[in-house]
A and B are shown apart, each in its own frame.
Chain A
């Protein structure tokens, strides 16, 4: 057989205390030498488990039921520990999702890279170090010498991921497994990492298994794409055709859920009156030092307004200050300048009274973190009612409003799925009968199809209550579907603020155009001219 990696009828169970859970069900796939196979699925579909099964690093409660995994003709399930150690890192490389978690923070980047090289290629320490410098140069890092001597916290996320990729490629592996390598990075950095992977692939002819939930990314990088749903491979097709003409119903649902900037979801116009007006708002981080202050700006002199019933999109890469703005508006950060709201002039968190706090609500990115794990859903929803006025008997109605059954009030957050938790967070915001809801990357942690339903819910709530949204996101495609105006932030400064339909106009800020270019074209559409 010519396949480099072949998985044949592989099934795997996790034993939990509630019984066994089938995670992979009769999975069959093949990767030819030099081929890149994309594996697409939502969270919990078993795609990462498959990667760990190939790397032979399964959790202890995993039980392999049947099937085989063979790599270059060898059955991986039969290999003993020493032969596996020779295989991992050397013939099969792996790139994980979060580069800051996959690098040891107490070792320099160079020593981690050199260790891999000297272990697998038997080089002496200084020879391995020299190889390491070359490997870093190959992943297009400037000043590889200096980077080798730095610690992980001293370089950016994109640079870290490049070092991880350099490590994976350093021993010239035959197969590299990518587990969501760009998910933790912002759009522009992620796009550059993808370009790098394409280049390395052309140079080395490596085969790849590229795991992602992002259809557009996978279709740009893979030769063939396998779609996985609850442990079963739904279909495997060439990347050119799978999303353009999906055959399986599930693939079609996935494709339909992808946001497309051309398909507007909001048709009405916002009101004329300014609801909230930020005038020269700056947020400084940093504490007084012994000698003077050393300040970094989280936001610098930002002026923008949100009109009644308007959806204002705020976009930018990570660290651009868009969340800082949300923190200032909700009284979580001190700021200079002022916020004007309904005749009030607010100069700091202490001046935000109950009516302001009720009117301006926030929904955070991770529903896991924003719902107290020790409180029941009912208690969580009861707090805004108790603070801003409202009867506890409203809780069933609040849950119903976000399309959750009333008996969920008795549950704890961990008993709910990610999408359901985010609905609870939205219900909590709407319990205060707000005029403005700040949505801070509310869909970033959710799967594509769940994301679409959450957006749809937010728009439905807006139709009923006439609420304005400040929609903070890095997903330009999504925000172009719903926002009336889009504000672009970069390095703490507002660089662009314009109507959503003229965001790709020629007079837009160069950075705005760069963002649009980095944004993946939605799958199932022709490349942008």
Chain B
């Protein structure tokens, strides 16, 4: 594990990505303590204040401090988006690998079902799931996971099909290993590279999907300072107070970049063959 981290930090992308994510982690853990003001404290006199020394990132339509809202909102945004992505990609990866391993009719059945699920647009599916399960952040997370799994299953299957033909899988079958062992221990580690990269790209999507759900009233509920919710609220005041939308937008973008860079670094670090 320490070896992996050392290799990760040796790549420039990995180091920058890790730095951004450590910063995010600190904000998620201690955001409420660092925040200069109460994120829900309204101030009628300080509405739409441009960034200055009092409000570093300006204030919103109720005079709430944007920086404080960002710092506190991180906890409601990043961990949930990450959990949704991990849940979705991991289950998708297992389904895809298992499908490639089984082959034949089982593969056909699994992939056609996946096609059927994918025929429903992602947002619609998320809406369907979260309205069935009810409002709330946790259900929104499950909904996003369900929407992510099919795409991930396809990507993983295509890689797993190549792995399936490798002799180490044949060797495992010949010595009578169980299917679970072959899928999880022999094949899955070897399809990790595309899964990791997909996962890191999808974290950014997950943040945006959360925002959409919150905007439609199915995810986080006001006055929560979830970043996506902040973007959708600020949309109305785009011309009046652009900082309101820029601040959470940049935060979401930085999160996405951080995860993507980490993904690039991980891809190199996870590959034991890569000795450059």
A, B assembled together: yes
Binding site for B on A (CB under 8 A): 16-18, 287, 327, 330-332, 352, 354, 357-358, 361-362, 364-366, 369-375, 383-384, 387-388, 412, 414, 428, 432
Q: How far is the CA of A365 from the CA of B190 in the complex (A)?
A: 20
- Is B175 in contact with A16, judged by CB distance below 8 angstroms? no
Query: Is B216 in the interface zone, CB < 8 Å from A?
Result: no
Q: Which of B104, B167, B173, B272 contacts A370 (CB 8 A)?
A: B167
Query: Is B40 in the interface zone, CB < 8 Å from A?
Result: no
Mask of B128-151 contacts with A, CB within 8 angstroms, 1/0: 000000000000000000000000
Contacting residues of chain B (231-276) with chain A, CB-CB under 8 angstroms: 272-273, 275-276
Residues in B with CB closer than 8 Å to A332 are: 170, 173-174
Give, as a whole number of angstroms, the nearest-CB distance from A426 to chain B.
12
- Is A362 in contact with B173, judged by CB distance below 8 angstroms? no
Q: How far is the CA of A432 from the CA of B167 in the complex (A)?
A: 18
- Is B276 in contact with A17, judged by CB distance below 8 angstroms? yes
- Is A330 in contact with B174, judged by CB distance below 8 angstroms? yes
Query: Is B53 in the interface zone, CB < 8 Å from A?
Result: no
Residues in B with CB closer than 8 Å to A357 are: 174-176
Output the nearest chain A residue to B273 by Cβ-Cβ distance: A414
Apart from A361-B175, A414-B273, what 11 extra A-B contacts exist at CB < 8 Å? A16-B275, A287-B104, A331-B173, A361-B174, A365-B167, A372-B168, A373-B272, A383-B175, A383-B177, A384-B175, A414-B275
- Is B272 in contact with A387, judged by CB distance below 8 angstroms? no
Q: Which 10 A-B pairs have the closest CB atoms?
A: A370-B167, A374-B189, A330-B174, A369-B167, A364-B167, A372-B168, A357-B176, A414-B273, A17-B276, A412-B272
Give, as a whole number of angstroms, the nearest-CB distance from A30 to chain B.
36
- Is A371 in contact with B175, judged by CB distance below 8 angstroms? no
Query: Is B37 in the interface zone, CB < 8 Å from A?
Result: no
Interface size on B, residues (CB 8 A): 20
Residue from the set A287, A369, A371, A432 with the largest chain B CB neighbour count within 10 Å? A369
Binding site for A on B (CB under 8 A): 104, 166-168, 170-177, 186, 189-190, 192, 272-273, 275-276
Q: How far is the CA of A387 from the CA of B174 in the complex (A)?
A: 12
Q: With A16-B275, A16-B276 known to touch, is A369 a contact of B174 (CB < 8 Å)?
A: no
Residues in B with CB closer than 8 Å to A387 are: 175-177
Give, as a whole number of angstroms, the nearest-CB distance from B44 to chain A.
60
Give, as a whole number of angstroms, the nearest-CB distance from B180 to chain A.
14
List 12 A-B pairs, Cβ < 8 Å: A287-B104, A327-B170, A352-B176, A362-B171, A364-B167, A366-B167, A369-B167, A372-B168, A372-B190, A383-B177, A387-B175, A432-B175
Q: How far is the CA of A17 from the CA of B275 in the complex (A)?
A: 7
Q: How far is the CA of A427 from the CA of B190 in the complex (A)?
A: 23
Q: How far is the CA of A364 from the CA of B167 in the complex (A)?
A: 7
Residues in B with CB closer than 8 Å to A370 are: 166-168, 170-171
- Is A372 in contact with B174, judged by CB distance below 8 angstroms? no
Give, as a whole number of angstroms, the nearest-CB distance from B105 to chain A.
10
Q: How far is the CA of A414 from the CA of B190 in the complex (A)?
A: 14
Give, as a whole number of angstroms, the nearest-CB distance from B157 to chain A.
18
Output the nearest chain B residue to A384 by Cβ-Cβ distance: B175
Q: How far is the CA of A48 from the CA of B104 in the complex (A)?
A: 41
Output the nearest chain B residue to A380 by Cβ-Cβ distance: B168
Q: How far is the CA of A287 from the CA of B167 in the complex (A)?
A: 22
- Is B272 in contact with A374, judged by CB distance below 8 angstroms? yes
Give, as a whole number of angstroms, the nearest-CB distance from A103 to chain B.
21
Residues in A with CB closer than 8 Å to B168 are: 369-372
Give, as a whole number of angstroms, the nearest-CB distance from A279 to chain B.
21
Q: How far is the CA of A370 from the CA of B170 in the complex (A)?
A: 8
Q: Which of A361, A364, A373 contacts B170 (CB 8 A)?
A: A364
- Is B190 in contact with A374, judged by CB distance below 8 angstroms? yes
Give, as a whole number of angstroms, the nearest-CB distance from B163 to chain A.
10
Residues in B with CB closer than 8 Å to A384 are: 175
- Is A373 in contact with B167, judged by CB distance below 8 angstroms? no
Residues in A with CB closer than 8 Å to B174 are: 330-332, 357, 361-362
Q: How far is the CA of A361 from the CA of B189 in the complex (A)?
A: 25
Q: Which of A383, A414, A428 contacts B272 (CB 8 A)?
A: A414
Residues in B with CB closer than 8 Å to A414 are: 272-273, 275
Residues in A with CB closer than 8 Å to B189 are: 372, 374-375
Q: Which of A18, A287, A362, A372 contacts B186 (CB 8 A)?
A: A372
Q: How far is the CA of A357 from the CA of B190 in the complex (A)?
A: 25
Q: How far is the CA of A16 from the CA of B189 in the complex (A)?
A: 26
Q: How far is the CA of A145 from the CA of B211 in the complex (A)?
A: 63
Residues in A with CB closer than 8 Å to B272 are: 373-374, 412, 414
Output the nearest chain B residue to A412 by Cβ-Cβ distance: B272
Q: How far is the CA of A361 from the CA of B173 in the complex (A)?
A: 11
Q: How far is the CA of A183 from the CA of B194 in the complex (A)?
A: 33
Residues in B with CB closer than 8 Å to A432 are: 175
Q: Which of B172, B175, B176, B190 contacts A373 (CB 8 A)?
A: B190
Output the nearest chain B residue to A428 by Cβ-Cβ distance: B171
Output the nearest chain B residue to A370 by Cβ-Cβ distance: B167
Output the nearest chain A residue to B166 by Cβ-Cβ distance: A369
Give, as a whole number of angstroms, the nearest-CB distance from B154 to chain A.
22
Q: How far is the CA of A369 from the CA of B165 in the complex (A)?
A: 9
- Is A354 in contact with B176, judged by CB distance below 8 angstroms? yes
Residues in B with CB closer than 8 Å to A371 are: 168
Output the nearest chain A residue to B181 by Cβ-Cβ distance: A383
Give, as a whole number of angstroms, the nearest-CB distance from B3 to chain A.
11
Q: How far is the CA of A384 from the CA of B104 in the complex (A)?
A: 28
- Is B273 in contact with A373, judged by CB distance below 8 angstroms? yes
Residue from the set B172, B175, B177, B276 with the largest chain A CB neighbour count within 10 Å? B175
Q: How far is the CA of A352 from the CA of B166 in the complex (A)?
A: 22
Residues in A with CB closer than 8 Å to B170 are: 327, 330, 332, 364, 370
Q: How far is the CA of A366 from the CA of B165 in the complex (A)?
A: 13
Residues in B with CB closer than 8 Å to A373 are: 190, 272-273
Q: How far is the CA of A432 from the CA of B272 in the complex (A)?
A: 28
Q: How far is the CA of A375 from the CA of B41 in the complex (A)?
A: 55
Residues in B with CB closer than 8 Å to A428 are: 171
Q: How far is the CA of A428 from the CA of B190 in the complex (A)?
A: 20
Residues in A with CB closer than 8 Å to B190 are: 372-374
Give, as a whole number of angstroms, the nearest-CB distance from B18 to chain A.
20
Q: How far is the CA of A87 from the CA of B192 in the complex (A)?
A: 44
- Is B175 in contact with A18, judged by CB distance below 8 angstroms? no
Q: How far is the CA of A287 from the CA of B107 in the complex (A)?
A: 14
Output the nearest chain B residue to A327 by Cβ-Cβ distance: B170
Residues in A with CB closer than 8 Å to B166 are: 369-370
Output the nearest chain A residue to B187 by Cβ-Cβ distance: A372
Give, as a whole number of angstroms, the nearest-CB distance from B116 to chain A.
22
Residues in A with CB closer than 8 Å to B177 are: 383, 387
Give, as a whole number of angstroms, the nearest-CB distance from A190 to chain B.
24
Q: How far is the CA of A365 from the CA of B275 in the complex (A)?
A: 25
Residues in B with CB closer than 8 Å to A354 are: 176
Give, as a whole number of angstroms, the nearest-CB distance from B144 to chain A.
29
Give, as a whole number of angstroms, the nearest-CB distance from B15 to chain A.
16
Output the nearest chain B residue to A349 by Cβ-Cβ distance: B173
Residue from the set B104, B166, B177 with the largest chain A CB neighbour count within 10 Å? B166
Output the nearest chain A residue to B272 by Cβ-Cβ distance: A412
Q: How far is the CA of A388 from the CA of B174 in the complex (A)?
A: 13
Output the nearest chain A residue to B163 by Cβ-Cβ distance: A372
Output the nearest chain B residue to A366 by Cβ-Cβ distance: B167
Q: How far is the CA of A18 from the CA of B275 in the complex (A)?
A: 8
Residues in B with CB closer than 8 Å to A375 are: 189
Q: How far is the CA of A412 from the CA of B189 in the complex (A)?
A: 14
